[in-house]
Amino acid sequence: MMDISTLRHCGTPVAVKTACRRTRFPRHQTRAILRQHSPRPVAQPINPPLLRESEHLTAWTPESWQQFQAHQQPNYTELQKVTDALETISRLPALVFAGECRNLQSRLAKCATGEAFLVQGGDCAESFSQFSANRIRDSFRVQLQMALVAMFGGGVPVVKVGRMAGQFAKPRSSDTETFDGVELPSYRGDIINGQEFTAEARIPDPARMVQAYNQSAATLNLLRGFASGGYASLQRVMKWNLGFMDSSDKGDAYLEVAKRVDEAIAFMVACGLDENTPIMNETEFYVSHEALLLPYEQALTREDSTTGLWYDCSGHMLWCGERTRQLDGAHVEFMRGIGNPIGVKVSDKMDGGQLVSLVAALNPDNVPGRLTVIVRMGADKVRANLPRLIKAVRDSGQVVTWVCDPMHGNTECVAGFKTRRFERIRAEVEAFFDVHEELGSVPGGIHLEMTGDDVTECLGGGASVDEGDLDSRYHTHCDPRLNAEQALEMAFYVASRLAKRKDMMCRLSAAPAAPIF
């Protein structure tokens, strides 16, 4: 894999140019590589005025967010019940360990440099009614398949992070929903209120936080079992295919990859590889969710006895949504103080200066892997808007992991259903890779709303879900998810782009080094 150290063999910018010419790189890619690797001032301090703007972010405690405006929070009416639920949760065990969060952060640092790739996916909104071991298994299984496809095809390690075991709270565009002339408070996720369209269900119920905690604990328990108990063993890759994909194109394509992996493993075993090593039988799987419901997140924030840092132990990675990422808001205040790796969602509404300020507030020590910027702009907007964000962050010397969420900017309403077209989703991923290729920056991962179920929520793809199919298996509690086949199709596309990137880097590193003198 090409990284800065391999490029050093190419020597000066002139030598890089020569190497690029020898390997017949298109001119724009040569320019991009030069930009990436020519000497540049070491991390400049962020604009002083921006630093001054965020000076209020100094003393942090797990509850300091309460002094700032918190958007998208429920209006609980029974305050004693809120206190009781939060007290209960704060006495319950942490769901994740700080050491696991640190491991994930080091993996995400590799995604920032192109030495690994993040595949983050799962439900838009986990729900109490659809909670089942089979669903957890199927979601985990399709994420394993995607990782295998991306790793085998793209030649990079894949970091697997589920939107699972805590993805219960939803930010909404409007506080109310109207149906048949009846207006009710919006559904905000099962951790807050019920999806049924009745006045009673829509009342925020604090006891739901305890139920969400319990469901997260059970989900995580099962995921840990699958990850380390043999289910994820590389010798089972042929068995990961989901039954309903047996006769599909993508299912067949997956089996082809699995067969080749199987053959490669047989060869390595013949060479003396020990089949019983953990690397063959276990996998790392992390969980993440949007840290939206701040009282719940605070109740799970614990001091790590090893480092003295505070970790939000509700999940390994937490992110701040597009609607709650205000620099002077409560969510940013909360997120800046936790030790977990964190993410921030960013649309085309973000400008370069704002992003630089936000990154500085959330990752003032510029720690690689600490901050993932999850870009969600819509297929049409990425080419026009992402370059200025990448350049602003790069010029300020900040290190972030760039990830593409091709779901949230591509939602539309068709035949009364919120849906997304696979072709638009893929177009956004394509634009994301293209922009990074042009700028010489690193596409670090993908973030998807997806499920292991055979749902019909997103249109198109090889599975050819069309408008008439939407109402047949539309089960999401909030936004439309890719079904297993569509998710796998996306993994094949990502693998092709990773392979292209790797090939580009290899050709460059293989070019004869220019003479040093």
Ligand X SMILES: O=C[C@H](O)[C@H](O)COP(=O)(O)O
Ligand Y SMILES: C=C(OP(=O)(O)O)C(=O)O
Strand duo 417-419 + 412-414: pairing? antiparallel
Q: How many CB atoms lie within 10 A of CB 67?
A: 11
What lies within 8 Å, CB to CB, of 129 at 6+ separation is none
Q: How many CB atoms lie within 10 A of CB 243?
A: 9
In the complex, least distance from residue 124 CB atom to ligand X, rounded to whole angstroms: 5
**Which of the stretches 53-61, 165-173, 221-229, 339-347 binds ligand X when contact is defined by CB under 6 A?**
165-173
The residue within the footprint of ligand Y, chosen from 110, 202, 331, 345 (CB under 6 A), is 345
| Rounded distance between C-alpha atoms, residue 190 and residue 115, angstroms | 37
In the complex, least distance from residue 359 CB atom to ligand X, rounded to whole angstroms: 22
| Rounded distance between C-alpha atoms, residue 28 and residue 36, angstroms | 12
Q: Is 440 in the site for ligand Y (CB under 6 A)?
A: no
In the complex, least distance from residue 405 CB atom to ligand Y, rounded to whole angstroms: 6
Residue that the structure tokens 């593409």 belong to: 404
Q: Is 408 in the site for ligand Y (CB under 6 A)?
A: yes
Give the number of residues in contact with ligand X, rule: CB under 6 A: 8
Of 58, 107, 65, the residue nearest 340 (C-alpha): 107
The residue within the footprint of ligand X, chosen from 71, 137, 172, 236 (CB under 6 A), is 172
Identify which of residues 18 and 120 has a Cβ nearer to ligand Y in the complex: 120
In the complex, least distance from residue 349 CB atom to ligand Y, rounded to whole angstroms: 11
| Rounded distance between C-alpha atoms, residue 119 and residue 159, angstroms | 6
Q: Is 322 in the site for ligand Y (CB under 6 A)?
A: yes
**Which of the stretches 104-112, 223-231, 320-328, 459-467 binds ligand Y when contact is defined by CB under 6 A?**
320-328
Identify which of residues 153 and 171 has a Cβ nearer to ligand Y in the complex: 171
Q: Is 479 in the site for ligand X (CB under 6 A)?
A: yes
Residue 233 · residue 148 · CB < 8 Å: no
Residue 156 · residue 501 · CB < 8 Å: no
Q: How many CB atoms lie within 10 A of CB 175?
A: 11
Of 474, 470, 486, the residue nearest 414 (C-alpha): 470
| Rounded distance between C-alpha atoms, residue 83 and residue 295, angstroms | 10
**Which of the stretches 164-172, 244-252, 434-442, 509-517 binds ligand X when contact is defined by CB under 6 A?**
164-172
Identify which of residues 333 and 438 has a Cβ nearer to ligand Y in the complex: 333
**Which of the stretches 102-110, 241-249, 315-323, 430-438 binds ligand Y when contact is defined by CB under 6 A?**
315-323
Q: Which long-range contacts (CB under 8 A, 24 or more apart) does 412-417 make?
A: 414/459, 414/467, 414/470, 415/467, 415/470, 415/471, 417/457, 417/470, 417/471, 417/474, 417/480
Q: Is 178 in the site for ligand X (CB under 6 A)?
A: no
Q: Is 71 in the site for ligand X (CB under 6 A)?
A: no
Tell which positions 112-151 bind ligand X, by CB under 6 A. 124
Q: Is 290 in the site for ligand Y (CB under 6 A)?
A: yes
Q: Is 57 in the site for ligand X (CB under 6 A)?
A: no
In the complex, least distance from residue 490 CB atom to ligand Y, rounded to whole angstroms: 16
Identify which of residues 325 and 501 has a Cβ nearer to ligand Y in the complex: 325
**Which of the stretches 40-48, 240-248, 321-329, 389-397 binds ligand Y when contact is defined by CB under 6 A?**
321-329
- Per DSSP, the residues of 373-398 read EEE---TTTHHHHHHHHHHHHHHTT-
Residue with the shortest CB distance to ligand Y: 321
| Rounded distance between C-alpha atoms, residue 309 and residue 112, angstroms | 23
Name which of ligand X, ligand Y, none residue 315 binds, using a CB cut-off of 5 to 8 Å depending on partner kind: none
Angle at 470 between CA 464 and CA 476, to 5 degrees: 110
Identify which of residues 290 and 312 has a Cβ nearer to ligand Y in the complex: 290
The residue within the footprint of ligand Y, chosen from 321, 329, 369, 444 (CB under 6 A), is 321
Q: Is 443 in the site for ligand Y (CB under 6 A)?
A: no
Q: Is 316 in the site for ligand Y (CB under 6 A)?
A: no
Name which of ligand Y, ligand X, none residue 172 binds, using a CB cut-off of 5 to 8 Å depending on partner kind: ligand X
| Rounded distance between C-alpha atoms, residue 87 and residue 297, angstroms | 12
The residue within the footprint of ligand X, chosen from 400, 478, 487, 491 (CB under 6 A), is 478
**Which of the stretches 319-327, 332-340, 416-424, 463-471 binds ligand Y when contact is defined by CB under 6 A?**
319-327
| Rounded distance between C-alpha atoms, residue 291 and residue 343, angstroms | 10
| Rounded distance between C-alpha atoms, residue 108 and residue 103, angstroms | 9
Site of interaction with ligand X (CB under 6 A): 124, 170-173, 408, 478-479
Site of interaction with ligand Y (CB under 6 A): 124, 171, 290, 321-323, 345, 376, 408
